């Protein structure tokens, strides 16, 4: 890490992030891996469906971005899903391929047939969900989990426990259950699952420390949802306590409010904590655009990292900063260089909120002659236009608008 990890040619964040008082309790692992669940959990977003070609295309995009692991789906769901998982498992294109399975031997058999290297195994872990959601007897849930995880291990699969509704359980009770299943079945890794996204950032360190104390030799993974918008923060808090794998989706696709978005999490770790997950961040925008295209997901234009309008500068004062700083001092105006994530450089734009420097910049750009008084009058006219149009003015629109306006003024 450099002497100024908050400031380099690519980003400018807060020096407080790296104050000794802040970093002294960090327990980040040496490497944090990304386990992408777009093809499985992401597809559970209401109204979203990926066909075979979509899933292959997304998987190839994930591989190009350097994602370490891909959860390709549940072979038991359909023949199409089984084909996707099987075909991806045959490829040698970078990521390790996993499938998802319920705690049933038949699900595991399908995973074995697909040829995956690992399986994420759903283990019911809250009494209320077992009794009310599954309507199972507790002993049945335990017996099925033991039988299926042991079978998966015997078939040579890496077994990651996925305790659904982990964070709404009594902690001692659920860890007793996990320990019993792990001892009598098998467990290679354990996912900390916040199914409903209901854990506060202050509770997360307590949660991780308690689990690590009980299972000190078991690698931990973070699988959090965004119901209260805290998934990214909680994931980082969990990693700061030693969690080694982040389960995320592109664009945060997923059930209800979605899963933790890979783009925001990876960039926050890199620029705010100095932790490189090994993802090719310059691929993030193109990957997000492709997933948005095939999924039909509506992406807010100001979405962090990958939004289309993220680096369009309308506000007059900030446009002045941008025009004064130029490319060399770009991170004085934005927190990171857009090229880091595959975005275009910031541009000053024309709209209701623009200032005099926006207007002068465009007048100069189109080599339109003007006086200071004319530029100010044009700015006021543009503000009136923007209030009615409620959008940005395109370049050609500005040129016609400015030329017509100035011609009338000089007539």
The tens-digit pLDDT sequence of the chain (411 residues) is: 678 999 999 999 999 999 999 999 999 999 999 999 999 999 999 999 999 999 999 999 999 999 999 999 999 888 899 999 999 999 999 999 999 998 889 999 999 999 999 999 987 766 666 666 566 666 777 888 899 999 999 999 999 999 988 999 989 988 988 999 889 999 999 999 999 999 999 999 999 999 999 999 999 999 999 999 999 999 999 999 999 999 999 999 999 999 999 999 999 999 999 999 999 999 999 999 999 999 999 999 999 999 999 999 999 999 999 999 989 999 999 999 999 999 999 999 999 999 999 999 999 999 999 999 999 999 999 999 999 999 999 999 999 999 999 988 776
**DSSP strands (E only) in 181-308:** 189-194, 220-224, 245-248
What angle is formed at CA 257 by the lines to CA 210 and CA 65, rounded to 5 degrees?
80
Is the model's pTM score more than 0.75?
yes
Q: Is the Cα dihedral 318, 321, 326, 327 positive or negative?
A: negative
Please name each of the domains of the chain with its CATH number.
15-295 (3.20.20.70), 312-404 (no CATH)
Assess contact for 159 and 145: CB atoms under 8 A: no
Write out the H or E segment, with its range, that includes residue 348: strand 347-348
**pLDDT given at position 136:** 60
Our measurement of the distance from residue 363's CA atom to the centroid of its chain's CA atoms, rounded to an integer in Å, reads 40
CB atoms inside a 10 Å sphere around CB 200: 13
**pLDDT given at position 126:** 62
Q: Specify burial of residue 226 (Cβ count, 10 A radius: 0-12, 13-18, 19+).
A: buried
**pLDDT given at position 142:** 80
**pLDDT given at position 409:** 79
**pLDDT given at position 78:** 87
Write b or e for each residue in 227-266: b if 16 or more Cβ atoms lie within 10 A of its Cβ, otherwise e. beebbbbbbbbbbbbebbbbbbbbbbbbbeebbbbbbbbb
**pLDDT given at position 128:** 65
């Amino acid at each position: 890490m450099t002497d100024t990890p908050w400031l380099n040619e690519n980003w400018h964040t807060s020096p407080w992030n790296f104050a000794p008082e802040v970093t002294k309790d960090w327990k980040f692992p040496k490497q944090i891996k990304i386990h992408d669940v777009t093809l499985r959990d992401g597809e559970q977003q209401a109204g979203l469906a990926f066909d075979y070609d979509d899933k292959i295309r997304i998987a190839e995009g994930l591989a190009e971005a350097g994602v370490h692991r891909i959860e390709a789906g549940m072979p038991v769901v359909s023949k199409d899903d089984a084909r996707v998982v099987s075909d991806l498992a045959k490829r040698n294109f970078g990521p390790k391929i996993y499938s998802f399975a319920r705690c049933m031997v038949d699900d595991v058999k399908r995973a074995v047939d697909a040829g995956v290297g690992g399986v994420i195994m759903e283990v019911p872990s809250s009494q209320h969900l077992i009794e009310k959601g599954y309507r199972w007897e507790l002993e049945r849930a335990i017996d099925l989990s033991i039988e299926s995880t042991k079978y998966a291990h015997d078939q040579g699969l890496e077994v990651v426990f996925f305790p659904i509704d982990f964070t709404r359980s009594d902690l001692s009770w659920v860890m007793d259950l996990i320990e019993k299943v792990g001892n009598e079945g098998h467990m290679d890794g354990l996912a900390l699952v916040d199914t409903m996204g209901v854990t506060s950032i202050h509770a997360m360190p307590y949660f991780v420390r308690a689990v690590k104390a009980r299972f000190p030799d078991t690698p931990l993974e973070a699988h959090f949802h965004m119901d209260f918008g805290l998934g990214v923060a909680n994931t980082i808090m969990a990693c700061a306590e030693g969690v080694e794998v982040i389960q995320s989706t592109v664009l945060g696709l997923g059930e209800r409010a979605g899963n933790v978005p890979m783009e925001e999490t990876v960039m926050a770790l890199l620029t705010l904590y100095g932790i490189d997950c090994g993802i090719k961040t310059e691929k993030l925008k193109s990957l997000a655009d492709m997933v948005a295209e095939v999924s039909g997901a509506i992406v807010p234009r100001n979405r962090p990292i990958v939004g289309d309008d993220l680096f369009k500068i309308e506000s007059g004062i900030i446009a002045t900063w941008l025009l004064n700083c130029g490319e060399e001092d770009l991170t004085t105006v934005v927190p990171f260089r857009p090229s880091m994530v595959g975005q275009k450089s910031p541009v000053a734009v024309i709209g209701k909120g623009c200032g005099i420097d926006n207007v002068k910049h465009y007048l100069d750009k189109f080599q339109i002659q003007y006086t200071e008084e004319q530029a100010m009058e044009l700015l006021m006219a543009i503000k009136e236009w923007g209030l009615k149009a409620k959008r940005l003015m395109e370049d050609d629109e500005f040129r016609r608008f400015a030329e017509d306006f100035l011609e009338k003024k000089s007539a």
